[in-house]
Amino acid sequence: MPNSGYDIIQRLGVTPIINAGGPNTKHSGSRPRQEAMDAMQAMSEVFVNIDELLLAAGKEIATLVGAEAATITSGASGGLVVQAAAAVSKGNRDVIARLPDTMGIPNELVIQKAHRFVYDHLYLVPGTRFVEAGDESGCTAEQLEDAISDRTAGVIHLESPFKNHGTVQVEKAAEIAHGHGLPFLVDAASMLPPRDNLRKFTAAGADLVSFSGGKAVRGPQSTGMLLGKPEWIEYARMVNAPNATIARAQKVSKEEIAGLLAALRSFVDEDEQAETQRYRREMESVVDQLGEIPGTAISIEHNYDHYIPHTVIRFTDSWRGPDGPGMAARLMEKPPRVYVVSGYIGPREIWIDPLNIQPGELPTVVARVHEELLRASSGN
Ligand SMILES: *Cc1c(COP(=O)(O)O)cnc(C)c1O
């Protein structure tokens, strides 16, 4: 019996990391809340019909977050596959059965070109294709409107850091989609907190919004949820696992379902102001301790692009060391390895995200970042 996670990875020869880079899947997502782990253990004792459990869990999620309806998916990315499949099939069992064959039915998804992102191919799983509106720098309402045709199955929309500048905003885009009788489908996977976002995008008109359960909600890593209109949640449920559909490989276990519910309950109950203040105080102590380092400008940012207070370390023109990804690589080179955000919005900065920094780890994060910044700034 291993006594700790460290025993397990030590036996495997895997080195731990301190995660100061946020809930990134490749770096283990986030730490599931104790409530979620307890609920998963407890749920393993019973057998149920998964359809019945999913229906009841969807109702509970809707109540918890103040949505009209909800269902559970395998991560937010599983939710994107399900959104697209729902848009194409709209509850038609014959169509559901033959996806990804979309021959003869509207299969185009309109997307603002500035919203193209690394996970968007999930939207193409059910035999769909993109029609892009606007260009990399943005999109106008007219351009979005013009991209819609009788082959369009839905309009998709991304809410994500650094992706909503110069684009058609959520209310207007929803209005355009609905003006053509089309579903408006939102990926807001990482937009929690603020908890207000649980209602914001559905209030703005979204038919389905996909959120991650394994990021700041701190449910099981593999979970996600769709919130939206009852009709569209039902279409989504019909194309989703456990049914033998295009999304069958995206199953979520009863333990994961119970884990997400417990995590979400705890997430919505948390005092967001107190949580934010706690993160801000931590980041203030980081900034204080890093002090002045030649060639850097260090600040705390908390806004649309930074879901909780982050320490942002920018490299100015006088910086003599490696770029952001280079510095991040140095921090991972030797133990204690520290993972920070880099390369996300260009090569000139790294971020410290407090979400996954465990009690007692902050001094190590500060010491390692300070050490590597000083070494690099002196040209070594
Ligand atoms: C994280 C993220 C996803 C994937 O979410 P998972 O829950 O990890 O599947 C999809 N889209 C965006 C914009 C994200 O930030």
> Of all protein residues, whose CA lies closest to atom 8 belonging to ligand 1?
75
Percent of the chain with pLDDT over 90: 96
Per-residue pLDDT tens digits for 169-224: 999 999 999 999 999 999 999 999 999 999 999 999 999 999 999 999 999 999 99
Res 226: pLDDT: 98
- CA 39 to centroid of ligand 1, rounded, Å: 24
pLDDT in tens, 350-364: 999 999 999 999 999
- In short, whether 75's Cβ falls inside 6 Å of ligand 1 is yes
Percent of the chain with pLDDT over 70: 99
Flag whether pLDDT at 241 surpasses 70: yes
Topology of the domain covering 5-29+271-377:
Aspartate Aminotransferase, domain 1 (3.90.1150)
pLDDT at position 222 is 97
Please state the pTM of the whole predicted model: 0.97
User: Is the Cβ atom of 160 under 6 angstroms away from ligand 1?
Assistant: yes
- The pLDDT score that the predictor gives to residue 118 is 93
34-269: CATH, from 3.40.50.2300, 3.40.640.10, 2.60.40.10, 3.40.50.920: 3.40.640.10
Mean pLDDT of 298-303: 97
Q: Which pLDDT value is given to residue 1?
A: 65
Indicate the pLDDT class of residue 234, thresholds 50, 70 and 90. very high
Which atom from ligand 1 is nearest to the alpha carbon of 117? 13
Q: What is the pLDDT of residue 165?
A: 86
pLDDT of 343 reads 85
Reply yes or no on whether the pLDDT at 249 is more than 90: yes
Query: From ligand 1's centre to the CA of 196, what distance in Å?
Result: 18
- Ligand 1 pocket check for 224: Cβ under 6 Å: yes
pLDDT score of 362: 98
pLDDT at 164: 84
Distance 12 CA to ligand 1 centre (A): 28
Please state the separation of Cα 180 from the chain's center in Å.
29
pLDDT tens per residue, range 123-157: 999 999 999 999 999 999 999 999 999 999 999 99
Residues 189, 125: Cα–Cα separation, whole Å: 18
> Tell me, what's the pLDDT at 357?
98
Any ligand 1 atom below 6 A from CB of 87: no
**Where in the chain are the domains?**
5-29+271-377, 34-269
User: Which of 31-45, 49-63, 77-91, 339-353 is predicted least confidently?
Assistant: 339-353
Same fold, 5-29+271-377 and 34-269: no
